[in-house]
Amino acid sequence: MNLRIFKKPEYEINNELAKKIQELLTECFPDIYPKNRTYFKQLPHFRFLAINKESDLLGQVGLDYRVMNLNGKPIRILGVIDLCVSKNNRSQGIGSLLLLEIEKFCKEKNIDFLVLFADNKKLYLKKGFKSVKNKCKWLKIDNESHITKGIGFEILDELMIKKVGKIDWSEGDLDFLGYLF
């Protein structure tokens, strides 16, 4: 397969590419994803896009760089958002290639952990992520009206992390200092 993966800042995504991303997201998350945009709660900072030689968008992942608070200490994370591959191109290693590109990006950068949410954890476990059980605190956002609804407190079973820096993860309190991606 002739595939190219590249990084694209969100503010450089034109209408044509945004339409392709939106179509892929609604194909991959049909009952969840808003049908008229390329994000769920908030725009990612940038994306990795997997495109073939015909310029078809085969896969994508959004990334959000920010600080969170883990047991009273700031940690720098890269949030992995909505990794997905088109139905016709699954089981060809594209999701793994996107994760590998993220890890290569993290090398020599000030990032402590990759953080994501997954209903299906199989790929992530295979790639070195682990499930964690932290008591989480986050900003609740209504994805339809774009308004803040309050603060959430809960242990989230879908939460997964991968260490990419020098510090260790610990159980306890995790304040997202913002929304859930």
Cβ-contact 77, 68 below 8 angstroms = yes
pLDDT at res. 144: 85
pLDDT at res. 7: 97
- State pLDDT tens for residues 19-76: 999 999 999 998 888 878 899 899 999 999 999 999 999 999 999 999 999 999 999 9
Looking up tokens 């991303």 gives: 21
pLDDT at res. 31: 84
Question: Could you tell me the CATH number of the domain that includes residue 101?
Answer: 3.40.630.30
- What is the H or E stretch that residue 70 is in? strand 57-70
Helices H / strands E in the chain, number of each: 3, 10
- State pLDDT tens for residues 86-138: 999 999 999 999 999 999 999 999 999 999 999 999 999 999 999 999 999 99
Q: Which residues of 82-97 are buried (b: 16+ CB within 10 A; e: fewer)?
A: bbbbbeebeeeebbeb
Domain count, the chain: 1
pLDDT at res. 32: 84
What is the residue range of 68's domain? Answer: 3-179
The length of the chain in residues reads 181
Question: What tokens were used for 20?
Answer: 């392709």
pLDDT at res. 1: 65
Question: Residue 15: is its pLDDT beyond 80?
Answer: yes
Cβ-contact 96, 135 below 8 angstroms = no
Report the relative pairing of strands 135-142 and 173-179 from DSSP bridges.
Answer: parallel
- State pLDDT tens for residues 132-180: 999 999 999 998 889 999 999 999 999 999 999 999 999 999 999 999 9
State whether residue 169 is helix, strand or coil: coil
Nearest 5°: phi and psi at 177?
50, 35
The DSSP symbol for 168 reads P
pTM above 0.85, yes or no: yes
